Amino acid sequence: MRHDHVDHCVSMTATIASARWRPLRQHDGDHCVTEVCHPEALARTNSRRRARFFDSYIGDLIVRDVRQLAEIEQGQQMLTLIRLLAARSGQLLVGNALSNELSVSASTVHRYLALLEEVFLIKRIPAWSRNLSSRAIGTPKVAFVDSGLAANLLGSDARGLLRPNSAFGPLLEGFVLMELARQLTWADERVELYHYRTKDRIEVDAVLENRQGRVVGIEVKAASAVRTEDFRGLRHLAERLGDDFVAGLVLHTGTQTLPFGDRMRAMPVSALWEVG
């Protein structure tokens, strides 16, 4: 079934304003992050077998696809980069930092990143700016196409993600970014996906903009309770865009859809794929 959350967002139809969304329970969120989306991985219900599949998949990817594309000899170097990227899924992608950690040139890192994007392992989310503020930064974000693969590379399972200070937050954000990116491929309206962040660290995790310049902002919160402060970045964006700002959504792991003022709403993450 197609999940047209993107079209609902940008058109701001009555569906998104009044729909009742099936609740996403906390442990559902953990599992959706660790188990999507490779079909062969999903077929392995045993967590140990799934982990072995992911390990084998990464090895084959490096040996077969990436090396054939670029004749890269440093397979271990590429594997280290992939693990570093898994730890950054849903976060800013700073090429110079990766270059320092790998002890390779920045140009080599950028070449590797392009290759990993070409084989659909990662996706770079560009920074959004309409020159509304000179303080907007241009650094992209990175997301793993398969968040289950990223979780495996970090040694995280659904139970481990429940622990304090786990990677659940960044992995959930990466999962949401990729779900939005997938939906863009079939949305009736032409929409682009960005993120927004200023030098003052005001940020919006996902920015959807259509050809008419209308914008929906989305924040991802790896918690069931939503507070007014969670809308700080969305309100910042709304003030600068005026009527071009359609809606601001905070997607959370709780069960309720709640209004938070003009064009602001908190919704379960399950709003991405299930209307009921």
Contacts of 149 (CB under 8 A, 6+ apart): 38, 41, 54, 57, 58, 86, 121
Higher pLDDT, 113 or 59: 113
Distance CA 181, CA 186 (A): 10
Question: What's the confidence (pLDDT) of residue 150?
Answer: 83
Question: What's the confidence (pLDDT) of residue 2?
Answer: 46
Nearest to 172 by CA among 11, 36, 55, 17: 36
User: Considering only 70-74, 80-84, 203-207, 223-227, which range has the smallest mean pLDDT?
Assistant: 70-74
Predicted confidence (pLDDT) at residue 17 exceeds the cutoff of 50: no
Question: What's the confidence (pLDDT) of residue 119?
Answer: 81
Question: What's the confidence (pLDDT) of residue 206?
Answer: 95
Tens-place pLDDT, residues 173-195:
998 999 899 888 887 778 899 99
Residue 38 gets which letter from DSSP? Answer: -
Predicted confidence (pLDDT) at residue 18 exceeds the cutoff of 80: no
Q: Which two tokens stand for residue 247?
A: 């809606």
Question: What's the confidence (pLDDT) of residue 46?
Answer: 57
Question: pLDDT band for position 23 (50/70/90)?
Answer: very low
Cis peptide before 37 (omega within 30 of 0): yes
In the three-class reduction of DSSP (H, G, I as helix; E, B as strand; rest coil), residue 183 is classed as helix
Distance CA 77, CA 125 (A): 24
Question: What's the confidence (pLDDT) of residue 78?
Answer: 80
What percentage of the chain exceeds 70 in pLDDT? 66
Question: What's the confidence (pLDDT) of residue 14?
Answer: 29
What average pLDDT does the chain have? Answer: 77
Question: What's the confidence (pLDDT) of residue 261?
Answer: 92
Count helices and strands in the chain by DSSP H and E runs: 12, 9
Predicted confidence (pLDDT) at residue 208 exceeds the cutoff of 90: yes
Tens-place pLDDT, residues 98-146:
999 988 888 888 888 988 888 888 999 999 987 655 566 789 999 988 8
Question: What's the confidence (pLDDT) of residue 21?
Answer: 34
Averaged pLDDT, 198-211: 91
Question: What's the confidence (pLDDT) of residue 36?
Answer: 47
Tens-place pLDDT, residues 62-97:
556 555 555 555 667 788 888 899 988 888 998 889
Distance CA 222, CA 172 (A): 7
Burial zone of 64 (CB within 10 Å; 0-12 exposed, 13-18 middle, 19+ buried): exposed
Single-letter code of the amino acid located at 121:
L
Question: pLDDT band for position 52 (50/70/90)?
Answer: low
Predicted confidence (pLDDT) at residue 147 exceeds the cutoff of 90: no
Q: Which two tokens stand for residue 199?
A: 């030098």
